[in-house]
Amino acid sequence: MIYTEKTKKALKLCFEAHKNQTDKSGMPYVFHPFHLAEQMETEETAVVALLHDVIEDTDYTLEDIRKMGLGETVVNALSLLTHDDAVEYMDYVRAIKENSVAKSVKLADLRHNSDLSRLDAVDEKALTRREKYLKAIELLEK
């Protein structure tokens, strides 16, 4: 993990935002963004990794992030990583491909979410979701 003033702010917000959430196996959700952030090589990608689901899955807004002083690069990447259900999934992934920070985080996110060993039970829904994520990885790596 890269520890800077900004990553420490992001760590605290990530924990606060996700502290009562669990993943599909009942594990504390914060382990997921922490895992992604550990893989990042820059301050900006670490901050975005920590916050990549905050806007989509909590009541925090991009304006809240902006007011924290984390920078427009972070805000722009988080905006791209926040999937609007009105946008077809692969179109959403294509937009992410154009932003190097968002792309780095999304690739780590997709790889982690494709790891079926994280699940207690692998059903048809999990296999279908994994297939979608593998296609997204392929699109981002082209």
Per DSSP, the three-state class of 86 is: coil
Fold of 5-141: Hypothetical protein af1432 (1.10.3210)
Closest by alpha carbon to 52, among 36, 70, 68, 31?
Answer: 36
pLDDT in tens, the chain (142 residues): 899 999 999 999 999 999 999 998 899 999 999 999 999 999 999 999 999 999 999 999 999 999 999 999 999 999 999 999 999 999 999 999 999 999 999 999 999 999 999 999 899 999 999 999 999 999 999 8
Domain positions in the chain: 5-141
How far apart are alpha carbons 76 and 52 in whole angstroms? Answer: 11
Catalytic residue among 16, 38, 57, 115: 57
Mark whether 84 is an active-site residue: no
88 is catalytic: no
Q: Which of 56, 115, 131, 138 is catalytic?
A: 56
- Global pTM value: 0.95
What distance in Å separates the CA atoms of residue 128 and residue 122, rounded to the nearest whole number? 10
